[in-house]
Structure 1
Amino acid sequence: MYRRYAIFYTASGPFGSRGAAWLGWDIAGGQSVAHPDGLGIDLSRVTEAPRKYGFHGTLKAPFALADGHSKTSLLTAFEGFCATHRPASVDGLEIAALGRFLALVPSGDPAALNQLAEQIVRRFDAVRAPLTYADLARRRVSRLTPQQDANLVAWGYPYVMREFRFHMTLTGRLPKADLEGVRQAAVQYLDGAIPAPFTIDALSLVREREDGKFETLLRRPLTG
């Protein structure tokens, strides 16, 4: 039984392998993996919050299926989208602090990535079940801006359209004093693995298991 689905970018090759080990969860295989040693930080602690999602960039946030839609119809729509849309690239990725957590964010012009994300949000909104009052209340605890709240109501997630910023989360919320040390460890560990240019050339349809962890259901190249 699967509670929610989402559309993510998930990395492959050395980049994907290192990201999975950093977080301790392999979203492609749906299994735990060992953290790397010798980085001088408690990776199990700093990655606890994002671990269940795996190493990814969100393009369509987790959603329950709307009435009248099934896993089969979602798979068909997903494969059709991938067959008719092109890859999107930026110059590269860099490790940055987004508030109190660390993530990989685009360097260079992100317009192509943003456009792809908008197309995904619009195309798959019809299969998304409306949020419940409890869902809305939980999201609104985060002190959303008026635009983010409008996005939440319209699209089921605050950080879409003009509020979207592609990122691949590396940590949970950290004390300010720890940010730089963890950032340096991440730079050291990911050195040579981050592709440049960085291209989203495939999408992953993922699902949330009963234990709350996410695993890949289907990964397809963008061939449009």
Structure 2
Amino acid sequence: MAPRFALYAAPPANHPLHGFAARWLGWDAESGESHDAQPAAGLPAERIAAITAEPRRYGLHGTLKPPFRLRHGCDEGMLIVALEQFAAAHAPVRLPPLQVAVLGSFIALRPSLPCPDIDALAGACVQAFDALRAPSSETELARRRSAGLTARQDANLIQWGYPYVFEDFRLHFTLTGRIEDAAERAAVLAHLTAQTAPLLRRGLDVEDICLFVQMQSDGPFRVAGRYRLTG
């Protein structure tokens, strides 16, 4: 299978959130280091491993343009040139303070206030790189639709390969997969809120666009490059 690429916002390796999330999720997308799950929130290590299994493959990230394969005739070099040009034309974004929040049945870090600048940056990413994206397969479309989409989200899926763009975009840094039990979800939320509180005193600037790559369909994503926003 051809590799998949994604454009993400991700804390730099020297930000305290990076190290915490690498240990919590069990995967450091920057270094390629794995970490064993530890007991937390009154749950055994095995349960922590289970609820972090889905986000573990990606490492801590906020999606700007979701995973895609390159269109026929395009290569990674073309993508990198486009990234360099994009980064030179767009300014860094200062995010509002982050907070741990529940989204549906999973837990993520979210900006505590609206941030039009990050919304605009994500929208620009979706549009600027779409000419390089291979069309979504029927399997990928069906998987996205299984979540239950609005008409607008389905139109986004068809046009852009992802339903949650533009008006439906919500920046988030995923910390768990779905946790259906409300009591368990509340315990994990309280644990993550307490653990991240001192780390979030340092704000987070989106200073670069991170190129993540997944070389195998069942493999993890790695950071392949950071492209400084200097516009």
How high is the TM-score relative to the length of structure 1? Answer: 0.94
1:200 — aligned with what? 206
- Match for 2:188 among 173, 182, 191? 182
The correspondence for 1:60, drawn from 45, 65, 71, is 65
Match for residue 230 of structure 2?
223
In structure 2, distance between residues paired with 1:145 and 1:57: 22
CA distance in 2 between partners of 1:93 and 1:87 (Å): 17
- Matched residue count: 224
Which runs of 5 or more residues in structure 2 are unaligned?
none
User: Partner residue of 1:16?
Assistant: 18
SS in 1 for 2:129: helix
Q: How large is the RMSD of aligned CA atoms in angstroms?
A: 1.6
Equivalent residue letter for 1:180: A
Match of 1:141?
146
| Alpha-carbon displacement from aligned partner over 1:136-159 (angstroms, at most 9, x marks no partner) | 122111110000000000100000
State the Cα distance separating 1:35 from its structure 2 match: 4.1
Identity %, equivalent residues: 39
Moved more, 29-38 or 162-171: 29-38
Alignment of 1:58-207 (within 5 A): 58-174=63-179, 175-207=181-213
Q: Counterpart of 1:17 in 2: which secondary structure?
A: helix
Matching residue's letter, 2:210:
S
CA offsets per residue over residues 100-154 of structure 1, 9 Å max, x none?
Answer: 1000111122111100100111101110001122221221111100000000001
Counterpart secondary structure, 1:194: helix
Q: Using a 3 Å threshold, how does the CA distance of structure 1 residues 124 and 80 change in structure 2: closer, same or farther?
A: same
Displacement of 1:73: 0.7
- Structure 2 residue identity aligned to 1:11: P
* Contact 2:2–2:69 (CA under 8 A) maintained in structure 1: no
